[in-house]
Structure 1
Amino acid sequence: MNIHPSPEVFARLAAQGNVVPVYTDLMADFETPVSAYAKLKEAGPSYLLESIEGGERLSRYSFIGCRPRQVLVCGPTTTEIRIPGQPTQTVATPSDPLTLVETEMKGYRPVKIPGLPPFTGGAVGFVGYEYVTRIEPSVPVAAHDELKLPLLYFMFSDSLLIFDRAKQTLRLCVNAHITSDLAAAYASAVAELRALYELLKQPRELAPAPLIDPGPLTIPPGNFSPAQFENTVTAGQEFIRSGDIIQFVPSQRFTRPFAGTPLDLYRALRTVNPSPYMFVLDTGDFAIVGASPEVHVRLTDCRVEIRPIAGTRKRGATPAEDLALEKDLLADEKERAEHLMLVDLARNDIGRVCRYGSTTVPEFMVVERYSHVMHIVSQVEGIIAEGHNAYDLMRATFPAGTVSGAPKIRAMQIIAQSEPSQRGFYAGALGYFGYDGNSDTCIMLRTALLKGGQLHIQSGAGVVADSVPASEYQETISKATALLKAAAIASEF
């Protein structure tokens, strides 16, 4: 293997920081991201992150991580710190558990090497919806917690594979943590690179997966009956009419048995519903698999981005029908009003941590097409203010207005009183905080939890004053359909 940087260059780079990427490049014609992940996923907690840009084009990079240096599992009262080869440490969960990730990451000063991808290591994981009760104590916690998920789960990822579609290369990357013994730090990183290379050389092949038509889908029972959900919509509309809120987003959870693996589900889902954020996060105790259409928030070299989605139509059967549906969507005053409200909410959220006057809307109400639907989308941007970071940005924007409502705090209070169970993964955020201070997270929509032989899907509907309760119930069914179809296909693998 041709390893970069050389020991001599590594020694010079080590004077610039305390985390140095050590890497080797391979031709990417012998693996796909999915086949490579199949070889690495058994090496402890793991993840695969992919993306479709604009709904129709694969983005440049895919990221695969395994063999984390440390795992942080934050429960409501206690937090487990898992380090390979050491006994698990248990500490009290602080009032704001995100500070544990922030404190760990603040100690790292990565060396910048030109030409590296946007993510080369850091904290990868998720923030569950109930985290909001830690940063906004006026929002109550729903009584029932059947899923028993952590509030936060993050793996500190130093060993990863990066597929570059533009160059058709596969980069094996290991972050060397600088100590007083530079030679030992470099040798350790090189040894880990060789271990990743050996994992890739395994003669493990994915079996061909038939892409079947599962036929009519059976909708599993939700944690609301249809009548209960419609009553919740009606009750919420009373809050809207009384002036408490403008909109809220009730949701329901569907559960069905699933005997397949997380990768089985992901393979089917990425085909059925390609999306801007596609992911598998496998902790060993449970797995989260998703194809989310919506960024939660992104920070890239001080630039903040949110891309609210609100307003949906199905795709047309012909180009002419597709264009007619787009015109109908953009002419729908209800859809436009709801979208404008969420754009304003996004501007207000990032404005809390951005430079005064820097918030802009460079794209407003454009239509983005996906495999089954089209959406109205806007781009909201700003420049993060001095003294703030990616963790402050998460706190300022969490959860997204598209999964809560407006005004956000009152809408979340009503949701907590209306839904029968804690949301857990649903409507939380999944992604990464990089060693370089950048971050990229998506909203956990079109996302499934696999735990204990069960598959859990949750979906919501944006309710306003003139919503029809039965239609909002049906919207939750429609949003769950892609995952239910993927589960049906994967069950035949």
Structure 2
Amino acid sequence: MRAVALRAFAWADPLEVASAFADETHACVLLSGEGGWSYVLRHPRLTVRGEDPADLDCSGAELYAGGPPFQGGFVGLAAYELSAELEPTAPQARGDGPDLIVLCYPALLAFHAGERRAVAVGRGSDALMAKARADAALTWLDGPRCFARAGVLADHVACAVSDADHALAVADTVCRIAAGDLFQANLARPWRGRLAAGVTPFDLFRRLTRQSPAAYAAYLRLPGRALVSNSPEQFLSVRREGDALWAESQPIKGTRARGADPVSDAALAAELQASAKDQAENLMIVDLIRNDLARVCDPGTVSVPARAVLRSYANVHHLVSRVRGRLKTGATTWDAFCAAFPPGSVTGAPKLAAMSVIARHEPPRGPYCGSLFWLGLDGSMEASVLIRTVSLSENPAGWGFEARAGGGIVADSDPMSEVRETTAKIGAILNALTGAR
């Protein structure tokens, strides 16, 4: 698939376009809530389960100048438990789903919200095949659009771990930190339920992204399963600059709920920026990611261009940092992914010790705290951290789901404050399920 063809078309809302075939197996939407490029994909020509993408061809393909960053290639879902394959000593039980799924899409529709641009992209062994696939993707625009569903989307939803039990888990972790076992661990608790009759995972995705736009929103339909993510967090971005690949990660650590009015909202944001605890929490993860990237980057190139910068989202304020480095000659994009996986912001430090604490208090996470990524045929990558994410599975009664929310636990963490943080983080998902705004 080294040849590429692009065909421009009139702007359309990618969510409305995808609604025509969202229930189709392997339908995928990668949606940027920050005005950048979004992608709608279907009909992969290759599905790989549990195979190392390092064996897939990601070099030497053409890129159309001025086109979107992703011009066909692979979309992958890496479950948190993939860590047990990458690092055999990783202390984590295995889940019931595949640890890695990779889909190869030879065509896609790309939409730039800020510029109101839209193009169909086709890939092929030669220019004629690439053009034919781009033309075929244009026909996706002809499908009947589905209306957004109103009202309550969930028959039932409840937290599976009580406030008291989560507080005890936090207290246990604080004791382990005091004993010197680790510095920080990210603990989460699950909310579970089922969608109402007739409601689909795409109904949830559409409402969630409308109510709470996020930079790394994603929808992926799999056989008997679906993933709905509204993640604000970048795990890893890889781009070619000159003759080298550069990797960047933007970890989130430090959270406050949004205020009910502008005055209280600004006060909470200022409190977060001034918090020694949250600053220290962020710094620990920045150091961890620096060390992860240093394994595959040229010495002296790993830097921190920004640390603990305030970013505000629909329900919470966050502190976000940037860590970047130049990959060594011979190191691949997948090498960088594996070196940093699972994301340090959702494990802790040291990583293996933190994962041991997580395994003590949580069942297998599955997609939660794993990553959804696209991997271009030129070696570029964009990978999210799967937080603010709902995993759904189909059964005779309909669609069951689980969503988790957590936070970083450090030496001076207050158990009940950590309980409140999980409630704030799950808020957008619960609002979408219940129809609230």
Q: In structure 1, what is the equivalent of residue 158 of structure 2?
A: 220
Task: Return closer, same or farther for 1:249/1:166 CA change in 2, 3 Å cut-off.
Answer: closer
Out of 290, 309, 317, the position equivalent to 1:366 is 309
- Superposition TM-score, scaled by structure 2 size: 0.91
Q: Quick check: 1:138–1:413 contact (8 Å CA) kept in 2? A: no
Q: In structure 2, what is the equivalent of residue 345 of structure 1?
A: 288
- Structure 2: distance between partners of 1:329 and 1:228: 26
Once the two structures are superposed, the pairs formed by residues 145-294 of structure 1 within 5 Å of their partners are 145=95, 148-178=96-126, 186-202=127-143, 204-210=144-150, 220-222=158-160, 224-259=161-196, 260-294=199-233
Q: Structure 1, residues 334-358: CA drift from partner, whole Å, max 9, x if none? A: 1111111111112111111111111
Q: In structure 2, what is the equivalent of residue 376 of structure 1?
A: 319
Q: Quick check: 1:266–1:289 contact (8 Å CA) kept in 2? A: yes
Out of 433, 436, 445, the position equivalent to 2:375 is 433
Task: Return closer, same or farther for 1:245/1:26 CA change in 2, 3 Å cut-off.
Answer: same
1:68 aligns to 2:40 (yes or no): no
Give the counterpart letter for 1:398 in structure 2: F
How many percent identity over aligned positions? 32
Give the counterpart letter for 2:57 in structure 1: M
Between Structure 1 and Structure 2, the one with more strand by share is 2
Partner SS for 1:48: strand
- Structure 2: distance between partners of 1:408 and 1:149: 23
Q: Structure 1, residues 389-435: CA drift from partner, whole Å, max 9, x if none? A: 1111111111112111111111112221332x211111101111110
1:41 aligns to 2:22 (yes or no): yes
Partner SS for 2:180: coil
Q: In structure 1, what is the equivalent of residue 360 of structure 2?
A: 417
Shift of 1:167: 4.2
Partner SS for 1:342: helix
Out of 99, 103, 110, the position equivalent to 2:55 is 103
Which ranges in structure 2 are unaligned for 5 or more consecutive residues? none
Q: Quick check: 1:247–1:462 contact (8 Å CA) kept in 2? A: yes
Q: Structure 1, residues 4-44: CA drift from partner, whole Å, max 9, x if none? A: xxxxxxxxxxxxxx51112211111xx31011111243554
- Structure 1: distance between partners of 2:253 and 2:404: 18
Shift of 1:446: 0.2
Q: Which moved more, 1:456-465 or 1:429-438?
A: 456-465
- Superposition TM-score, scaled by structure 1 size: 0.81
Q: In structure 2, what is the equivalent of residue 7 of structure 1?
A: none
Shift of 1:218: 7.6
Shift of 1:188: 4.0
Partner SS for 1:256: strand
Shift of 1:195: 3.1
- Structure 2: distance between partners of 1:344 and 1:257: 40
Partner SS for 1:330: helix
Q: In structure 2, what is the equivalent of residue 473 of structure 1?
A: 419
Give the counterpart letter for 1:154 in structure 2: V
Q: In structure 1, what is the equivalent of residue 80 of structure 2?
A: 129
**Number of aligned residues:** 425
- Structure 1: distance between partners of 2:83 and 2:311: 30
Task: Return closer, same or farther for 1:462/1:440 CA change in 2, 3 Å cut-off.
Answer: same
- Structure 2: distance between partners of 1:52 and 1:462: 25
Task: Return closer, same or farther for 1:219/1:467 CA change in 2, 3 Å cut-off.
Answer: farther
Q: Quick check: 1:248–1:411 contact (8 Å CA) kept in 2? A: yes
Task: Return closer, same or farther for 1:313/1:226 CA change in 2, 3 Å cut-off.
Answer: closer
Shift of 1:68: 0.4
Task: Return closer, same or farther for 1:45/1:219 CA change in 2, 3 Å cut-off.
Answer: closer
